[in-house]
Amino acid sequence: MTIVLNDTVRQLLDSPHPAVLSTLNPDGSPQSSVVWVIREGDDLLVSTERGRRKERNLVRDGRVGLTVFDLANPYLYAEIRGTATISEDTGRAVAVRIAEQYLGPGAGKEYGDASDGAVRVVVRITPSKVLGNAAKA
């Protein structure tokens, strides 16, 4: 079933609000990370490094939750549940796009620098359920 995000949820995701990404550790306990997120259609994209706990968790179990809220009005929020897939961030293009949404045009240059040798991956979240008061707006 395809979930279509409403305009309020889209506006939250299109603004530079930090989000909390929750995955499942091997023992079933939750693992949460503050992340930057962008939207591509109704899918959500997060950039991370290969080998980080959230990436390892998602490779093993793609179930994910992401909560985003308006910094000026923290009671306006959306919790998005879904499944995630992982792919390599070729040329770090997604990392740069995300950094520029949060930091401004041209600010993503350092995120595009691969000289550190780290492999960046894209976490693509396909929503299956949207909760919170932004989802009802």
What percentage of the chain has pLDDT greater than the value 70? Answer: 97
Task: Say what the pTM is.
Answer: 0.93
CB 35 within 8 A of CB 88: no
Residue 61 lies in a domain: yes
pLDDT at position 1 is 63
Residue 2 lies in a domain: no
* pLDDT for 113 beyond 80: no
Residue 63 lies in a domain: yes
Question: Strand order in 30-35's β-sheet?
Answer: 30-35, 19-24, 63-69, 77-88, 120-131, 43-49, 38-40
d(CA 12, CA 8): 6
Phi-psi group of 132: left, alpha or beta (phi > 0 → left; psi -120 to 50 → alpha; rest → beta): left
Average pLDDT over residues 113-137: 89
Domain count within the chain: 1
Residue 1 lies in a domain: no
pLDDT at position 70 is 95
pLDDT at position 76 is 95
> CA-based diameter of the chain, in Å?
44
User: CATH number, domain at 70?
Assistant: 2.30.110.10
Residue 105 lies in a domain: yes
- Residue-wise pLDDT for 46-81, tens only, equals 999 999 999 999 999 999 999 999 999 989 999 999
CB 42 within 8 A of CB 5: yes
Enclosing domain of residue 17: 7-136
Residue 53 lies in a domain: yes
pLDDT at position 135 is 84
- Residue-wise pLDDT for 8-48, tens only, equals 999 999 999 999 999 999 999 999 999 999 999 999 999 99
